[in-house]
Structure 1
Amino acid sequence: FTIPEPKVRIATSKGNIDLQLNPTSAPITVQNFFGYVYGTAASPNFYANTIFHRVISNFMIQGGGFTTGATGPVQKAPLFNPITLESNNGLKNLRGTIAMARTNVANSATSQFFINHINNTSLDYTSAVTTPNGYAVFGTILAGDTASFATLDAIAAVATQTTANGYANVPVTDVTITSVTQTQ
């Protein structure tokens, strides 16, 4: 028998984004993401009431690690240690795919993710010689899901600013993640 790939719904103040995850190609990344979806006893559903804190139209929307503060985004403390980078998994940073955000250190991703607004081939793994290399894609909006793509486009179109905290590309009006839930 065939076990279906897991699906999640990111419910936002702009609508829902439904994603199918790929634990076969990105097992560490999917397991980490579900760790934040379910959270801990002290912090269930880590993503609830976080914001898309970095939005760049024709590039990507990034969220999963910040809440709203008086002068700009406030970073939440991650629940778990950073994970191993799985960018060499054959998945590409195409429009509608979800990938883990990280610093310039390869194995630094924790809770933050981004959804590609366009095809971003410059974010794909290219060679083991260059490190860090690429961003780990671990799921996608399914082709034909016009509602999820419409939400992605609506978020990517919001007006942004640089805040007093020095963060750039921050939506002028918060785009809130109200919850992330597993639907399959």
Structure 2
Amino acid sequence: MIVLQTNFGDITVELDHEKAPKTAANFEQYVRDGFYDGTLFHRVIPGFMVQGGGFDTDFNQKPTRDPIENEADSGLKNTTGTLAMARTQDPHSATAQFFINVADNDFLNHTGKTIQGWGYCAFGTVVEGMDVVEKIKAVPTTRRGMHADVPAEDVVIQKAYVKDEPEA
């Protein structure tokens, strides 16, 4: 289990190491490295998703490791409460940014191994704290530089950690 401690409350996530092993391991390693500590949920779109894991509180993009292979063909779906990897138009460009689906986003699911069909890899599920996700999704948004849908009030992942280990 992974806990995302935010200034809105805690979100507990169960990763699917069986169906999305590379993606789950990638996310967990970023957690263990402290990468997400002090990062923002920087994109909030009600009826779609809340996205985080890429920017610090000064809105500087954080450097990441190399991209991972897209495992969206695992059979996992982008349903309400699932975590998925954010990426560019390149299907195999996901690094650290992730999103939590706040609706059933079937159009993000894998349909084929083409640029349009690859989809976005779901790799975990919120098991506690969906009420916190609901609070985040309700935050008013604005523009910040070239970015739209940015929360007007900072939504910060204060600390992310693996729950089955003692906190440092």
**What TM bracket, shorter-length normalisation?**
over 0.9
Letter in 2 for 1:46: F
TM value normalised by structure 2? 0.94
**How far 1:28 sits from its partner (Å)?**
0.5
Aligned match of 1:47: 36
One of 11, 22, 45 as aligned partner of 1:17: 11
**How far 1:127 sits from its partner (Å)?**
1.6
User: Does the 8 A contact of 1:104 with 1:132 survive in 2?
Assistant: no
| Structure 2 CA distance for aligned equivalents of residues 75 and 129 of structure 1 | 28
Number of residue pairs matched?
Answer: 164
Q: Would you say 1:31 and 2:32 are equivalent positions? A: no
User: Does the 8 A contact of 1:55 with 1:61 survive in 2?
Assistant: yes
Alignment of 1:1-184 (within 5 A): 7-39=1-33, 45-69=34-58, 73-78=59-64, 80-131=65-116, 133-142=118-127, 145=128, 148-163=129-144, 165-184=145-164
| Structure 1 CA distance for aligned equivalents of residues 161 and 114 of structure 2 | 37
Aligned match of 1:42: none
User: Does the 8 A contact of 1:49 with 1:177 survive in 2?
Assistant: yes
**How far 1:68 sits from its partner (Å)?**
2.4
Aligned residues with identical type, % of pairs: 42
Structure with greater Cα Rg: 1
Q: Structure 1, residues 32-87: CA drift from partner, whole Å, max 9, x if none?
A: 11111111xxxxx0100000000101110000010122xxx221111x11000000
User: Does the 8 A contact of 2:110 with 2:117 survive in 1?
Assistant: no
| Structure 2 CA distance for aligned equivalents of residues 130 and 35 of structure 1 | 27
| Structure 2 CA distance for aligned equivalents of residues 141 and 63 of structure 1 | 15
TM value normalised by structure 1? 0.86
Query: In structure 2, the residue corresponding to 1:23 is in which secondary structure?
Result: coil
| Structure 1 CA distance for aligned equivalents of residues 113 and 87 of structure 2 | 17
